[in-house]
Amino acid sequence: MIKSFTESKIIKKANLLKKLDMYPFFRAIEASDGSTVTINGQKQVMIGSNNYLGLTHHQEVKEAAIKAIEKFGTGCTGSRFLNGNLSIHEELEEKLARYLGHEDALVFSTGMQTNLGTLSAIAGPKDCMLFDSENHASILDSARLSFATTFKYKHNNMESLEEVLEGNMSRFKKMIIVADGVFSMTGDILKLKEVTELAEKYNAYVYVDDAHGIGVMGDLGRGTMNHFGLEDRVDFNMGTFSKSFASIGGVMSGKKESIDFIRHSARSFMFSASMPPSAVATVSACLDVIAKDDTIHKKLWKNVKFMREGFKNIGFYTYNSQTPIIPIFIGDDIKAMEVTNFLKENGVFATPVITPAVPKGEALLRTSYMATHNMKDLEYVLEVFKKAKKALDIPSIRH
């Protein structure tokens, strides 16, 4: 029987990186204003977060969270199902359903729980789920909980999706196509129109994980469904509050009957304490702020365009990014660590993505931009990347 984890591969790798002073994880942030952070007394430009709208430090948002704590306390101490259901949870759900253009919405305590709870409620052993190969880990874990059969199709490749649909249409009770609206690593957008057409042809459900699309895409950040005008063709739409909405929590939206079914059967919803009042008020305030201030999205997209063009001009390979997520291809895992270190030493916070999160030789740096980044900081980031490219010989093409 094994009684120690120190010999495990992952811990050996972590310890080696620590020894080489190249361990890039769990960096403790001592202070933050959103677009910059202080670590070990050093100020760094943050290009490794999901705070796309920069609302974590918005005055009205912070005040709303404080007010909610004063009125309801710091936590709900129970599940929505029992003692943890506040009037503001229900008000937020109504507001979100209107915002997203769906009949009903249900809020969960995290985005991950939203995926776990919903997918394991709507799919069972007689069903199948069809996953884009770049879907988020929480979707993969949902499959394990549901006991459904799963198939992977090639990333955003409709021929590959159709092949799987065609080959399995008569074998299962239900088929559910599950894909990210905005892909979290490569920053490209789901071909939602084509997905909904295939779903109709093969009588499948469409489930969109819009963690990185909500708040960012479409009119006022209503998400990827709104970007394509396809709200009525998406059966289940998931969003998180841990990114654009400056807090923690998640939302599932869809038809009234489906949401009511999930409300009464999603285990991660029923057997876990509800979103705390401050988080509920934060999300609600974010929705109010973006409804009245259209400069936030304008600034976001201006910054995104500036950085995407800036990286291309220097000669980086940035995949097919069309969103605030701009990945930089590096290739080798060790080189990705070296680049991260170089950036850190020069006051830039970015995160490497290495194996097993990506295949061997496909390491990248995931960078992302906010409405609240200022031009001076962004120009500085490009300057540091230019130096890093030369110093560390970062490739211009993906091998």
- Site of interaction with ligand PLP (CB under 6 A): 110-112, 115, 136, 138, 180, 184, 209, 211-212, 240, 242, 250
Shortest CB 170 distance to ligand PLP, Å:
31
Shortest CB 214 distance to ligand PLP, Å:
10
Counting Cβ atoms within 10 Å, is residue 137 exposed (0-12), middle (13-18) or buried (19+)?
exposed
Name which of 212 and 263 has its Cβ closer to ligand PLP.
212
Instruction: Determine the Cα angle at 144 with ends 242 and 182, to 5°.
Output: 35
Phi, psi at 374, each rounded to 5°: -95, 160
Name which of 156 and 242 has its Cβ closer to ligand PLP.
242
Shortest CB 213 distance to ligand PLP, Å:
9
Give the span between the Cα atoms of 242 and 245, in whole angstroms: 6
Name which of 242 and 258 has its Cβ closer to ligand PLP.
242
Name which of 133 and 374 has its Cβ closer to ligand PLP.
133
Instruction: Determine the Cα angle at 288 with ends 283 and 290, to 5°.
Output: 95
Shortest CB 254 distance to ligand PLP, Å:
17
Give the span between the Cα atoms of 172 and 175, in whole angstroms: 7
Do residues 346 and 387 make contact, with C-beta atoms less than 8 angstroms apart?
yes
Distances (CA, A) of 53 to 37, 116, 176, 285, 294: 16, 26, 31, 13, 11
Shortest CB 243 distance to ligand PLP, Å:
7
Peptide bond into 356 cis (omega under 30): yes
Shortest CB 210 distance to ligand PLP, Å:
8
Residue least distant from ligand PLP (Cβ): 111
Name which of 11 and 137 has its Cβ closer to ligand PLP.
137
Neighbours of 375 (CB within 10 A): 10
Name which of 240 and 323 has its Cβ closer to ligand PLP.
240
